[in-house]
């Protein structure tokens, strides 16, 4: 028996930043500030991420590149490492991401890379909470309720646990 399954996910698209709820708008503005602190001399593509924790605390991260390119790291993973290292019991509830190319914020939202999706998935399974993902561009913003939309059929802590001997 062969079954064809379909996976779809819904996300919100906003044309104007001021249509976002106030908390998401604040998070986007912190991500945009973070962009200015990025270290991206090689790609010149600066990325900023801002994570809101359950307590309301906001933690930032930027991409930090390296002459030996695999040693560089994305903004999302830096922000998450910062959140976990400094606030391990305060669960992330949302992450906003903004990027700048040629000194201008990008028109369109920048989706997180595969590595960052996997790391966000790990954090959702560690905490048991969904993390709202706000991808901001100057002309549009996408809001996705959980990483499972961007990473369906994911390998995470739960698969690992159920497959232990
Ligand atoms: N980058 C991020 O920081 N986040 C992403 O999700 C995609 C890519 C960074 C990595 C590198 O420093 C630069 O953007 C260009 O790939």
Ligand 1, atom 4: nearest CA belongs to which residue? Answer: 74
> Can you give the residue ranges of every domain in the chain?
22-152
43, 50, 26, 42: which is closest to 131 by C-alpha? 50
CB of 124 closer than 6 A to ligand 1?
Answer: no
For 146, the 3-state DSSP assignment is coil
- Summarised one tens digit per residue, pLDDT across range 84-133 is 999 999 999 999 999 999 999 999 999 999 999 999 999 999 999 999 99
Is the domain spanning 22-152 CATH 3.40.140.10? The answer is yes
pTM of the model: 0.96
The 10s digit of each residue's pLDDT in 32-88 is 999 999 999 999 999 999 999 999 999 999 999 999 999 999 999 999 999 999 999
Q: In this structure, are residues 63 and 47 in contact, taking their beta carbons and an 8 Å threshold?
A: yes
Distance CA(65)–CA(46), nearest Å, equals 10
Q: Does ligand 1 lie within 6 Å of residue 50's CB atom?
A: no
């Amino acid at each position: 028996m062969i079954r064809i399954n379909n996976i779809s996910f819904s996300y919100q698209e906003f044309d104007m930043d001021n249509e976002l709820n106030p908390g998401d708008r604040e998070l986007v503005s912190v991500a945009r500030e973070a962009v200015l602190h990025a270290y991206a001399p090689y790609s010149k593509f600066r990325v900023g991420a801002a994570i809101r924790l359950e307590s309301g605390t906001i933690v930032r991260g930027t991409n930090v590149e390296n002459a030996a390119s695999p040693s560089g790291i994305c903004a999302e993973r830096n922000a998450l490492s910062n959140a976990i290292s400094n606030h391990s019991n305060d669960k992330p509830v949302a992450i906003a991401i903004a990027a700048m190319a040629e000194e201008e914020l990008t028109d369109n939202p920048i989706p997180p890379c595969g590595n960052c999706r996997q790391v966000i998935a790990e954090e959702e399974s560690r905490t048991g909470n969904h993390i709202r993902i706000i991808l901001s561009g100057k002309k549009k913003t996408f809001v996705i309720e959980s990483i499972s939309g961007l990473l369906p059929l994911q390998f995470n802590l739960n698969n690992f646990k159920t497959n232990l001997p």
